[in-house]
Amino acid sequence: MSTDLSPAAALDGCAFLAEASRRLAESVDYEQTLKTVAALALPRLGDWSIVDLAEPDGSMRRLAVVHPDPDKQALARRLEVDWPPERDDPLGVPVVVRTRATTSTDPVTDDFLAGAARDPGHLETLRRLGIASAITVPLLAREQVLGAITFVGSRPGRGHTEQDRALAEDLAGRCALSIAHMRMVEELKKSVLLRDQVLGYVTHDLKNPLGAIVLVASQILAEARTPREQFTRQEQIGAAERILAATVHMQRLIGDLLEVAQIGAGGVSIHPRPVRPAAVVEDVLYTYAPGLAARSLRLEAAVTGELPLLRADPGRLRQVFENLLENAAKFTPEGGVITLGAARFDGSVLFSVADTGAGVPRDQMPRLFDRFWQARWPGVGSAGLGLTICKGIVEAHGGAIWAESAVGRGSTFYFRIPVQ
């Protein structure tokens, strides 16, 4: 702060910052703490305040509008709901994202409000709030703009002094560091949770095929040590097939883990080339129909019209179908039907896998594509990685994946790949 402050003013400012720091240090919820600190700064730095946060995707979210007057608070809430911040706004996060610096408007004239308003209703609300001055301070941590706090003065001539600016910037810096720290703690917690999930996955799912290999190998060794003749050829083939099946299962599980790790590290690698959508569907149908028929499931295809070529990775598209087919077969009883689909849709090719199975309860739908999560259904279990991998592959192609389902009426998984 400036050196020309009186001792009393300097002491008052230090006490305020110390209290703000205490609130920040004690909190485990930075969003709630930001609201508290923004209120704590009133009326020292303004008559009311706005807190905006910058989201990772570049969008902006209005976290809070804090006004001591209940009537004005209700009016200010309209700013949150009806006119959330946008990139070109002349106040708040958009300005500081562009400039990475504090901005101040004093006085805020009616012409300024008219230029900032998006429509007549917005302008009328701004006028009724009585905005006379405003100072917007970036929440800047490690050269990253995390958001902004705007302090608004309602009294003409009140303005914001250089001392106000210095105090606001000091406060914003402490808030930004607290946000960065709390977000880092959240990421560490997620990493620990993921580690525990992986450990649980490895110990639970890999021990089954590994146990099968150990069992068969032990049987072979036990037989070899007995005085009777060696295994017959048929017994040797059977033992080798069981070991091979268990090994393939383990390879698949390990491969899924590596895929999920790759998704978490920044995305799935793909090798695009021209692909005929119908050929992908036909290939999957030809490969899997016999095996599903042996399980009393019918596999069909429904390709609608002439489809455009895609620039995609055919192996990865096939992998999505395989995972969705495996999922569908798991939940579809004998005599059921699974249908592979492909159709043109809004500049994309829309693929689908529909089944006549058990369906997924509505409350479980939001978690379908989460890592290590699986629908709770009697007698059905898996590692919960297949749908996560599907999502990663589809998004690597610039597409999207979703599902529709109803208990007792089956499920349909859709994935859209854009035509490029």
Same domain, 136 and 53: yes
Backbone angles phi, psi at 202, to 5 degrees: -65, -45
236 with 282, same domain? Answer: no
- Give tens-digit pLDDT for 11-45: 666 766 676 667 666 666 777 777 777 777 777 78
- CATH code for the domain of 308: 3.30.565.10
List the Cα angle 27/28/31 in 5-degree steps. Answer: 85
List the one residue out of 385, 388, 402 whose CA is nearest residue 351. 402
Alpha-carbon distances, residue 405 vs 67, 85, 372, 374 (angstroms):
45, 36, 20, 15
Dmax of the chain from CA atoms?
106
- pLDDT above 50: residue 2: no
At 336 the pLDDT is: 93
- Residues 217-238 have a mean pLDDT of 67
- Using an 8 Å Cβ cutoff, are 75 and 128 in contact? yes
Residues 109 and 19 in one domain: yes
pLDDT at res. 343:
93
| pLDDT tens by residue, 254-301 | 666 666 655 555 566 788 899 999 999 998 998 888 888 888 999 999
pLDDT of the residue at 3: 43
pLDDT at 42: 76
| Interval 85-90 mean pLDDT | 74
pLDDT band at 330 (very low <50, low <70, confident <90, very high): confident
Q: Which of 264, 282, 303 delimits the end of a domain?
A: 264
**Domains of the chain: total:** 3
User: Are 53 and 165 found together in one domain?
Assistant: yes
The answer as to whether 81 is a domain residue is yes
> Looking at the domain assignment, is residue 309 inside a domain?
yes
> Can you list the alpha helix ranges (DSSP code H) found in 27-161?
30-40, 70-82, 93-99, 110-116, 120-129
CA distance 294 to 329: 12
pLDDT at 131 over 90: no
The reported pLDDT for the residue numbered 1 is 38
Residue 218 and residue 96 share a domain: no
Residue 243 tokens, joined: 């070991």
User: What's the confidence (pLDDT) of residue 297?
Assistant: 93
What does each C-alpha distance from 51 to 80, 137, 174, 286 come to in angstroms? 10, 10, 15, 58
DSSP letter, residue 92: S
**Model confidence over 177-210: pLDDT tens digits?**
878 777 777 777 766 666 665 555 555 556 666 7
Do 70 and 173 sit in the same domain of this protein? yes
Q: Return the higher-pLDDT residue of 154 and 383.
A: 154
75 and 165, same domain (yes or no):
yes
Residue 138 lies in a domain: yes
State whether 296 and 389 are in the same domain.
yes
**Which of the residue ranges 17-26, 40-49, 209-218, 226-235 would you say has the lowest mean pLDDT?**
226-235
Q: Which of 197, 229, 264 is the last residue of a domain?
A: 264
Kindly report the CATH number assigned to the domain that includes residue 60.
3.30.450.40
- The CA distance from 393 to 319, in Å, is 9
Instruction: Specify the pLDDT at position 379.
Output: 45
Contact yes or no for 56/164 (Cβ under 8 A): no
Give the range of the structural domain holding residue 396, as residue numbers without chain letter: 273-418
Whether 21 and 159 share a structural domain: yes
Q: What is the mean predicted confidence (pLDDT) over 154-160? A: 76
In this structure, the number of other CB atoms found within 10 A of the CB of residue 150 comes to 25
Q: Is residue 136 part of a domain?
A: yes
Residues 397, 281 share a domain: yes
**328 occurs within a structural domain:** yes
In a domain, 200, yes or no: no
Q: Cα–Cα distance between 401 and 232 in angstroms, integer?
A: 50
> Across residues 328-344, what is the average pLDDT?
92
Q: Which residue has the higher pLDDT, 236 or 354?
A: 354
Return the minimum-mean-pLDDT range out of 250-264, 267-281, 325-339, 389-403.
Answer: 250-264
Q: What is the model's pLDDT at position 168?
A: 83
Q: Is the preceding peptide bond at 107 cis, omega within 30 degrees of 0?
A: yes
Query: Which residue is associated with the tokens 């450990």?
Result: 199
Q: Are residues 289 and 169 in the same domain?
A: no
Do 73 and 65 touch, CB atoms closer than 8 A?
Answer: yes
**More confident position, 85 or 146:** 146
Residue 195 lies in a domain: no
- Considering only CA atoms, give the Rg of the chain: 31
Note the pLDDT of residue 338: 95
> What strands lie across the sheet with 410-418, from one edge to the other?
298-303, 337-345, 348-355, 410-418, 400-406
Residues 72 and 220 in one domain: no
Examine the fold and report which residue of 133, 152, 184 is the final residue of a domain before the chain moves on. 184
Question: What does DSSP assign to residue 50?
Answer: E
Confirm whether 349 is domain-assigned.
Answer: yes
Report the mean per-residue pLDDT for the chain.
78
CB 184 within 8 A of CB 192: no
- Mean pLDDT over residues 343-353, rounded? 92
The proportion of the chain whose per-residue pLDDT surpasses 70, expressed as a percent, equals: 74
d(CA 84, CA 61): 7
What is residue 411's predicted lDDT score, i.e. its pLDDT?
92
Max mean pLDDT among 5-19, 148-162, 296-310 falls in: 296-310
